[in-house]
Structure 1
Amino acid sequence: MAGIRDVAKEAKVSATTTSRFLNSDPDLMITDETKRRILAAVEKLHYVKRSNKSRKTTRIGLLVTKTERDEYDDPYFRDIRLGILDGLKAHSLDIGVTYHIGDKIDAMMLQGLDAFVIVGTLEHAWLDKIYAANQNIVLVDDYYGPANIDAVYPDFQQSTTAVLERLTKQGHQRISFIGGAAMSWLESGKIVWHPEGDLRLRTYQQWMDDHDLGQYSHSFIGGWDYMDGAEQTRNLLQHFHDRTDFPTALVVASDPLAIGVYRELHTAHIRMPEDLAVISFDNSAVADYLTPSLTSVKLRPYEMGKSAVRMAAERIQGTRDYPLRVLLPTEIIGRESDDYSRKSEEKTS
């Protein structure tokens, strides 16, 4: 039986345009000649549009590389899930099955799904196995996925560059970094740690070298929760103990890490931003309630979730037959933790 691509080839029109025309897309603008060629190809190939009567719902599978509890405790992953749920409503889609890390994924179940959304990074051997069962995959928050698979993620390279430029404009050169190791997951549920793999860290290191600040480049890497942030801050304080080149600014890879950073800096009587300017990533709700309030990069995880569903719907409907990588813009939300001049003005006003 002829399909959309067969009709498109016969009509010498893209598969995307052919699908949109045959599905009566009101926003599609094509010439009458193009319409005629498509209809002629439909008649010649005896193309019959697939009926939806025998199939009441279109089902998407979801794999989250967190335990169920950790997903809801992490505001970044929680907002991705909320975006996915709202995206499903917008496109009249249903979740057929949800997996969390450690769950056994059934290949037959994957084959029965219309698309599969993966939140987080899998080792490529496992991802290849999933792709063999279902090619309508969308990766969320995975920067290093194969080029043939759809992906959506925040622009960490641009945002980290913007953070460093902001700090150097404020006069900082001795800028350190606290972050977490990049993680990927094996099918067994075990983690593979990549200490130098996080894109924020790699961009920081490269930027410092490119701007002749490599001698001030110091990074402290561990896990991703507030206790890890506290531990890495203690490591930083120990590293610079009795040294004259103590950093004047600190880039922190996430707001949960920054909570631990704040605790240790307060304990050590290091003032922010007077002694140490701090900028983080996430722009979570906690950023406004820390003292001083935390300058943080808005990453748009909710929009990532919605975008992933839209991309999956395009694959299911056949309106796009090429892989797409969506890089979402970020924004620095300025607060007190890095703005010394504003802090001083507020004190004197």
Structure 2
Amino acid sequence: MATIKDIAQKAGVSIATVSRVLNYDSTLSVGETTKKRIFEIAESMSYQKKSTRKKLTRRIAFVHWVTESEELTDLYYMGIRHGIEDEAKEVHLQLLKYTVNDLKEIPSSIDGIIAVGRFSKTQVKQFKAISDHIVLVDSDFEHQGCDAVLTDFQQVLVDAIDHLTEKNITKIGFIGGKETLQGSIPPTEDIREYYFRQYAKVKKVLNEDLILLDHFNVDSGYQLMKKLLSRESPDNIGFIAANDPLAIGALKALNEAKIAVPEQVSLIGINDISISKYVYPSLTSIRIEKELMGKTAVNLMMERLRDDRQICKKVFLETSIVKRETT
């Protein structure tokens, strides 16, 4: 496993700077270029590349739900992008990059589309009008008629809740958010919140007062936890965050309030981004194989292009819980 020292040496900065960047220290005066370099190095050092394969040159539109700058708020998408880019190089696919705002710029001559993120039904229809070869990555609901690389979030939430109840925690909350997609009128329902509510009811631990919702970033996790702490003193409570940045923000608020973790509050994130092991205390998280999701998407596209596969495939990758110091 790469250490903070390894990252600092490769980035050409101090160990203290790396530590503060990876812990989202808002008081640190460091440029966006340096932050991005540190995050990129931390993410890239967590996996290895494979050998070259036989050449097949095609042009693929890579549509990313977030910009590379926005990736810095959630390294989950950076990991998927790395997987797609590395595997595309191995199989000699040329990636033409677009964001969700550039769909009208995708040429009809493209050989296929790999789209990462949660796209609306309207946007998926736009993809289908451009190409017959579509692979969606991390699409919650709208993936009919397309290949898709997916996470079984129902099992993710079962594993997370079971982990907490096995520790005799009966007050369990959820930290999440709402997102409005282009082509959607109301904010979309988050699949993680949906399955949390479903299984929490089964386990008889659903408490609406402990469901905290805002946006999916570090600051939201921080503000949501601060607001909760202002109205009650938590003891033997567990929280599951929809992603690691939310959990990291909540952890920062708990540390500031001198709430003992995990003695008073246990915390589980989802995604296991590379920096989760570097925060204090280190974050327990459900590991989603981000790079493998990206590589699998490219392999599905290759099946379409090389083998002329017509039947759609849905590939679910298994997850695992990485137990650290917050539970």
User: What's the CA shift for 1:327?
Assistant: 1.0
Closer, same or farther: CA 178–295 of 1 in aligned 2, 3 Å: same
Q: Is the 8 A contact 2:149 2:296 kept in 1?
A: yes
Q: Deviations over 1:294-321 (max 9, x none)?
A: 1111111101100111111111123421
Q: Is the 8 A contact 2:235 2:265 kept in 1?
A: no
Q: Which amino acid aligns with 1:64?
A: H
Partner of 1:178: 175
Find the partner of 1:237 among 229, 239, 243.
229
Closer, same or farther: CA 312–68 of 1 in aligned 2, 3 Å: same
Q: Is the 8 A contact 1:80 1:304 kept in 2?
A: yes
Q: Secondary structure at the match of 2:312?
A: coil
Closer, same or farther: CA 118–193 of 1 in aligned 2, 3 Å: farther
- In the superposition, the TM-score normalised over structure 1's length comes to 0.73
Q: Deviations over 1:28-78 (max 9, x none)?
A: xxxxxxxxxxxxxxxxxxxxxxxxxxx983111111111231135531111
User: What's the CA shift for 1:217?
Assistant: 6.6
Q: Which amino acid aligns with 1:118?
A: A
When the two structures are aligned, how many residues end up with a matched partner? Answer: 273
* Structure 2 counterparts to residues 102-121 of structure 1, below 5 A: 102-103=101-102, 105-106=104-105, 109=107, 111-121=108-118
Q: State yes or no: 1:194 paired with 2:187.
A: yes
Q: Is the 8 A contact 2:254 2:260 kept in 1?
A: yes
Partner of 1:330: 319
Q: Deviations over 1:166-212 (max 9, x none)?
A: 110110110011112245334xxxx86636x2222111111111122
List gaps (5 residues or longer) in structure 1. 1-54, 339-349
- In the superposition, the TM-score normalised over structure 2's length comes to 0.77
Find the partner of 1:271 among 260, 265, 271.
260
* Structure 2 counterparts to residues 113-152 of structure 1, below 5 A: 113-152=110-149
Partner of 2:94: 94
Q: State yes or no: 1:218 paired with 2:210.
A: yes
* Structure 2 counterparts to residues 293-332 of structure 1, below 5 A: 293-332=282-321
Partner of 2:274: 285
Q: Deviations over 1:227-268 (max 9, x none)?
A: 111111123224x426xx866111111111122111211222
Q: Is the 8 A contact 1:151 1:326 kept in 2?
A: yes
* Structure 2 counterparts to residues 22-171 of structure 1, below 5 A: 57-71=57-71, 74-95=74-95, 97-103=96-102, 105-106=104-105, 109=107, 111-171=108-168
Q: Which amino acid aligns with 2:164?
A: L
Q: Is the 8 A contact 1:178 1:250 kept in 2?
A: yes
Q: Secondary structure at the match of 1:68?
A: coil
Closer, same or farther: CA 227–332 of 1 in aligned 2, 3 Å: same
CA distance in 2, matches of 1:146, 1:294: 31
CA distance in 1, matches of 2:207, 2:252: 27
CA distance in 1, matches of 2:207, 2:122: 38
CA distance in 1, matches of 2:118, 2:297: 15
Q: Is the 8 A contact 1:304 1:328 kept in 2?
A: yes
CA distance in 1, matches of 2:307, 2:80: 25
CA distance in 2, matches of 1:164, 1:104: 39
Q: Secondary structure at the match of 1:61?
A: strand
Q: Which amino acid aligns with 1:194?
A: P
CA distance in 2, matches of 1:121, 1:282: 16
Partner of 1:248: 237
What is the Cα-based RMSD across aligned positions, in Å?
2.2
